[in-house]
Amino acid sequence: MNKLWCGMAVALLVSAAGFELRAATAFEQNRKLGRGVNIIGYDPLWRSRDQGRFQEKHFRLLHEAGFNSVRIVLQPFRHMDAGDTLPETWFATLNWAVSNALANKLVAIVDLHEFQALGEDPPKYRAKFLSFWKQVSARLRQAPPEVYFEILNEPNKGLTPELWNDYLRDALQIIRETNPRRTVVIGPASWNSIDQLDKLQLPGSDRNLIVTVHYYKPMEFTHQGASWVGLQDKTGVAWNGTAAELKQIEQDFDKAAAWAKQHDRPIFLGEFGAYDKGAMESRARYTAAVARAAEARGWSWGYWQFDSDFILYDIPRDAWVAPILKALIPAK
What single-letter amino acid sits at 238?
Answer: A
Mean pLDDT over 221-229 rounds to 96
Confidence of residue 332 (pLDDT cuts 50, 70, 90): confident
pLDDT digits (tens, 9 = 90+) for 313-325: 999 999 999 999 9
Provide the β-strand partners of residue 107.
69
Mean pLDDT over 242-268 rounds to 98
pLDDT of 2 higher than 70 = no
pLDDT digits (tens, 9 = 90+) for 9-29: 434 433 433 333 456 899 999
For residue 72, the SS3 value is: strand
Confidence of residue 294 (pLDDT cuts 50, 70, 90): very high
pLDDT digits (tens, 9 = 90+) for 275-293: 999 999 999 999 999 999 9
pLDDT of 78 higher than 50 = yes
CB 51 within 8 A of CB 45: yes
Share of the chain above pLDDT 70, in %: 93
pLDDT of 248 higher than 80 = yes
Give the torsion sign (CA, 213, 219, 225, 227): positive
Q: How far apart are CA 41 and CA 35, in angstroms?
A: 18
* pLDDT mean across residues, the chain: 93
At 141 the pLDDT is 97
At 237 the pLDDT is 97
Q: How far apart are CA 294 and CA 319, in angstroms?
A: 26
Right CATH number for 3-328 from 3.40.50.150, 3.40.50.10860, 3.40.50.300, 3.20.20.80? 3.20.20.80
Mean pLDDT over 29-49 rounds to 95
Confidence of residue 146 (pLDDT cuts 50, 70, 90): very high
What single-letter amino acid sits at 82?
Answer: A
Mean pLDDT over 121-140 rounds to 98
**Of 126, 138, 127, 212, nearest in space to 175 by CA:** 138
**Global pTM value:** 0.93
State the DSSP code for 319.
E
Q: How far apart are CA 199 and CA 258, in angstroms?
A: 14
pLDDT digits (tens, 9 = 90+) for 182-199: 999 999 999 999 999 999
CA-to-CA dists, residue 104 to 52, 85, 97, 107, angstroms: 19, 30, 11, 9
CA-to-CA dists, residue 197 to 189, 255, 263, 315, angstroms: 8, 9, 11, 36
At 295 the pLDDT is 98
What single-letter amino acid sits at 45?
Answer: L
- Pairing mode, if any, of strands 267-272 and 300-303? parallel
Q: How far apart are CA 101 and CA 99, in angstroms?
A: 5
Q: For the beta carbon of residue 243, count every other beta carbon within 10 angstroms.
A: 7
Where do the domains of the chain lie?
3-328
Mean pLDDT over 118-124 rounds to 98
At 23 the pLDDT is 67
Q: What per-residue string of b and e applies to 259-289 under the rule 16 or more CB within 10 Å gives b?
A: bbeeeebbbbbbbbbbbbbbbeebbbbbbbb
